[in-house]
């Protein structure tokens, strides 16, 4: 993308300021410095949610929002007051409680209101300065999508990758009460970022969705076959695999069901909603196949908005996962969602990607008791370390990393693998 195309919003904003120059006293502008948030809070999905919080302000101000190249945005309009800005920032504080910029005594460092006419030229010069100081694009980290002609090489490289060392697992934990929990099952998967790291850093393996689908279908087969190389001795009696629908019908999966690493474990196949939409007939065939052998199917990656658009009960999955995001905290009295959860059964729902205690409180408010994510990993690791005689010689981060792997040098550095593999039951949560 050319430099000119990268700064369209800045140029459009300056053009608008030029047009209102003679009547700028009727306007004001709010500059929101999203670029000052922590990197994890600048994820595109968060930016959309944050921008949505300011939608009402845009309408009330009869204004326009300009999303700048830096990720910051400017709202230019009428009757924007400090009180309106403060209310919007308060909502963000509740959703992003871990971000220090939102709790700075001088909140104007994050959300600065330019009152015209006094601040008109200050804002104009600041935007002009961003244009003047804009550097040429840095092509050193530019990623290019894989093409069909490269797939043979991409798949050949996959054969050379030590997939067992990429496989991770994460517990799904059920809260029995305030002081008691147990592991329901453990999910096994290969993270896209870990797979991407095995390829040329300038190659984007996800850009072409059809080629990525082809690649991950091949990865499913290698992942399923990789469990024989695992160092784990104390396998959970129920495990889930994140996989494509088509992988359920492969010889590799059939072999896994009969000769897997655990003696007749219960398997939960985790599949994506988009995969189901594309192959609805295959979904029902897969579910029937799994049920005949005593296994289950889980629909992964749902959000509350999806549940309001589809009738999940018609698909009859055994379990579903809803993905948490911090802005869901504000949606605790959604009667429609309450009804959907009650009809499906809250005990069959997992709230995933839980980052903090707010996620648990939100889930519990809807009757959900099953959770997965970094916050649950932290609780689980703390309990495991409380049983370990060598805990003082490694950090909680090292312990968690080793627990999540199934093999490899890093995992083998643990001196007490029997503790590392401990499957927490009801008494462990007390």
Question: How far from each other are the two terminal CA atoms of the chain, in whole angstroms?
Answer: 56
Q: How far apart are CA 324 and CA 377, in angstroms?
A: 15
One pLDDT digit (tens) per residue for the chain, 430 residues: 444 456 788 888 898 888 887 776 778 888 988 888 777 666 665 666 666 667 767 777 777 888 888 878 888 888 788 887 777 777 666 655 556 666 665 677 778 889 888 888 899 998 988 888 765 555 556 678 888 888 999 999 999 999 999 999 999 999 987 678 889 999 999 999 999 999 988 888 988 888 999 999 999 999 999 988 889 888 888 999 999 999 999 999 999 988 876 666 799 999 998 889 888 899 999 999 999 999 999 999 898 888 888 889 999 999 999 999 877 877 778 899 999 999 999 999 999 999 888 899 999 999 999 999 999 999 899 989 998 998 888 889 999 999 999 999 999 999 888 898 888 764 343 3
In this prediction, residue 6 carries a pLDDT of 66
The pTM is what? Answer: 0.70
Residues of the chain with CATH 3.20.20.450: 144-429
For residue 203, the surrounding DSSP H or E stretch is strand 203-204
Note every long-range contact of 344-348, with CB atoms under 8 Å and residues 24 or more positions apart, other chains counting.
344/312, 344/313, 344/320, 348/318, 348/319, 348/320
Q: Where are the alpha helices (DSSP H) in 245-356?
A: 251-259, 273-278, 280-292, 304-309, 312-315, 335-344
Q: What pLDDT, on a 0 to 100 scale, did the predictor assign at position 297?
A: 97
Q: Which helix (H) or strand (E) holds 74?
A: strand 73-77
82 CB-near residues (< 8 Å, 6+ apart) = 113
CB 222 within 8 A of CB 163: yes
What 8-state DSSP symbol labels residue 366? T
| H or E, element range at 10 | helix 8-19
- Compute the distance between CA of residue 138 and CA of residue 408 in angstroms, rounded to an integer: 36
Angle of the 374-387 helix axis to the 357-365 helix axis, nearest 10: 110
Q: What is the pLDDT of residue 271?
A: 96
pLDDT value of position 264: 67
Q: CB 47: neighbour CB atoms within 10 A?
A: 16
Nearest to 331 by CA among 359, 354, 297: 359
Q: At what angle do helices 251-259 and 209-226 cross, to 10 degrees?
A: 30
Q: Is 160 exposed, middle or buried (0-12, 13-18, 19+ CB in 10 A)?
A: exposed
pLDDT of residue 430: 35
Superfamily of domain 144-429: EAL domain (3.20.20.450)
Question: Dmax of the chain from CA atoms?
Answer: 79
In degrees, rounded to 5, the angle at the alpha carbon of residue 123 between the alpha carbons of residues 109 and 134 is: 85
């Amino acid at each position: 993308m050319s430099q000119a195309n990268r700064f369209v919003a800045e140029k459009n904003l300056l053009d608008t300021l030029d047009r209102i120059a003679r009547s700028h006293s009727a306007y004001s502008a709010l500059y929101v410095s999203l670029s000052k948030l922590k990197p994890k809070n600048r994820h595109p999905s968060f930016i959309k949610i944050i921008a949505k919080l300011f939608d009402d302000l845009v309408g009330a101000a009869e204004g326009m929002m300009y999303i700048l190249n830096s990720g910051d945005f400017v709202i230019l309009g009428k009757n924007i007051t400090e009180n309106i800005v403060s209310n919007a920032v308060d909502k963000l504080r509740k959703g992003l409680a871990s971000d220090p910029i939102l709790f700075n005594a001088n909140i104007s460092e994050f959300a600065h209101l330019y009152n015209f006419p006094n601040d008109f030229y200050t804002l104009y010069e600041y935007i002009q300065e961003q244009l003047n100081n804009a550097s040429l694009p840095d092509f050193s980290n530019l990623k290019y999508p894989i093409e069909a002609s490269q797939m043979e090489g991409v798949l050949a490289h996959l054969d050379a990758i030590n997939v067992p060392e990429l496989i991770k697992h994460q517990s799904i934990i059920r809260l029995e009460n305030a002081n008691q929990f147990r592991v329901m099952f453990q999910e096994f998967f290969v993270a896209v970022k870990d797979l991407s790291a095995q390829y040329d850093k300038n190659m984007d393996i996800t850009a072409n969705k059809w080629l990525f689908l082809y690649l991950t279908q091949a990865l499913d087969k290698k992942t399923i076959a990789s469990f024989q190389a695992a160092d784990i001795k104390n396998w959970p009696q129920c495990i889930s695999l994140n996989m494509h629908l088509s992988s359920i019908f492969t010889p590799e999966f059939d072999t896994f069901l009969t000769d897997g690493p655990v003696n007749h474990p219960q398997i939960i196949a985790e599949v994506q909603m988009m995969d189901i939409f594309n192959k609805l007939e295959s979904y029902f065939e897969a579910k029937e196949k799994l049920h005949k052998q005593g296994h289950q199917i889980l629909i992964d990656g749902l959000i509350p908005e999806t549940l309001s658009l589809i009738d999940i009960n018609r698909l009859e999955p055994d379990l579903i996962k809803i993905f948490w995001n911090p802005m869901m905290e504000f949606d605790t009295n959604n009667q429609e969602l309450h009804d959907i959860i009650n009809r499906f059964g809250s005990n069959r729902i997992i709230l995933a990607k839980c980052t903090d205690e707010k996620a648990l409180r939100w889930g519990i408010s809807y009757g959900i008791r099953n959770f997965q994510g970094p916050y649950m990993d932290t609780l689980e690791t703390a309990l495991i370390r409380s049983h370990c005689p060598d805990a003082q010689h490694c950090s909680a981060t090292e312990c968690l990393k080793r627990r999540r792997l199934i093999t490899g040098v890093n995992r083998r550095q643990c001196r007490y693998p029997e503790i590392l593999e401990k499957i927490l039951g009801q008494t462990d949560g007390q």
